[in-house]
Amino acid sequence: MESTAEKTIITVETTIHAPVEKTWQFWTEPQHITQWNNASDDWHTPKAENDLREGGSFTSRMETKDGSMGFDFAGTYTTVKEHERIEYTMEDGRKVRIMFASNGNVTHVTETFDADNSHPAEMQRAGWQAILDNFKKYVEASGKSKTLHYEITIQAPAEKVYRTMLDKKHYREWAAEFNPTSHYEGSWDKGAKILFLGSDKDGNTGGMVSRIKENIPSKFVSIEHLGIVQHGAEITSGPEVEGWAGALENYTFSETESGTLLSVNTDTNQEFEAYFSETWPKALQKLKAICEAEA
């Protein structure tokens, strides 16, 4: 930390085992920002917008997962040099600079910002470093996976959407867009094991072995996939689960003037990207129809 008579300047940094092109992409694209932009597990970023150009603006909605606290983190870009440097000014006038130093398949990221005088500098440094550490973890763990984002507004209260989505009968109805025999076995309780299953045309059972990483009723649900079900057998290790083990499927329920904004962020590999891009919007439309028909 560097102090002057007028302000305190704080620097945090990390080294990421990924090329600068990937590091830059994950730092700047909203579908990635929503995955790493939190300092602790009880916070998340359900929505991010980014106009990455000099004079462009950005905003990230940061909230506790239980919805008890939240704020918009926003600013305007003053410098954007691709794969090298980003500078912006926050809404309160404080300045931030992020430097990307490339060394082959390794990128060093240095973030320097003006401290907020209303909070202890060391607390701010720890918070910004935690977010940067989370970014490093996310980039390095991404492998070949990609996070897809979908959202829909449903004219029903969040509690209604949440309850309908998880209900065993209604789950079969809206998830049938993925597979006509889609269903689940297990519990939605936090920490519980759950299987997402379906049958192929030959009657073989397949699907995902998962656990409920988080479940805050009517607010947020996070599913962590542990492996796959193949011909009825659970497989949680080996080459078959590469790209699936550790993948997340997150649902955020946000009440708006129009009803409930349901946001879905789901990790996938390249093989299934086109399939999900076609089926997820259909599944959400089906869920919307079910909720609104019973509202």
Q: Does 163 lie in the same domain as 125?
A: no
pLDDT at 101: 97
Q: Does 137 lie in the same domain as 80?
A: yes
Torsional class of 259: left (φ above 0), alpha (ψ -120 to 50), beta (otherwise):
left
Q: Does 155 lie in the same domain as 116?
A: no
Contact 168, 183 (CB under 8 A): yes
Q: Does 91 lie in the same domain as 159?
A: no
Q: Does 156 lie in the same domain as 114?
A: no
Q: Does 171 lie in the same domain as 120?
A: no
pLDDT at 2: 54
Q: Does 133 lie in the same domain as 181?
A: no
Residue 104, token pair as written in the block = 């082959």
Contact 165, 172 (CB under 8 A): no
Q: Does 77 lie in the same domain as 49?
A: yes
Residue 229, token pair as written in the block = 């079900």
Q: Does 103 lie in the same domain as 219?
A: no
Domain boundary among 80, 113, 141: 141
CATH code for the domain in which residue 30 is found: 3.30.530.20
Q: Does 9 lie in the same domain as 136?
A: yes
DSSP one-letter string for 1-19: -EE-SS-EEEEEEEEESS-
pLDDT class for 1, splitting at 50, 70, 90?
low
pLDDT at 50: 96
Which residue range(s) make up the domain with 227? 146-294
Q: Does 133 lie in the same domain as 176?
A: no
Q: How many beta carbons lie within 10 A of that of residue 283, not counting itself?
A: 20
Residues 81-140: pLDDT tens digits?
Answer: 999 999 999 999 999 999 999 998 999 999 999 999 888 999 999 999 999 999 998 888
pLDDT at residue 192 is higher than 70:
yes
Domain boundary among 122, 141, 160: 141
Distance CA 4, CA 93 (A): 17
pLDDT at 166: 97
Domain boundary among 100, 119, 141: 141
Total tally of structural domains belonging to the chain: 2
Q: Does 266 lie in the same domain as 170?
A: yes
pLDDT at residue 25 is higher than 70:
yes
Residue 184, token pair as written in the block = 């689940």
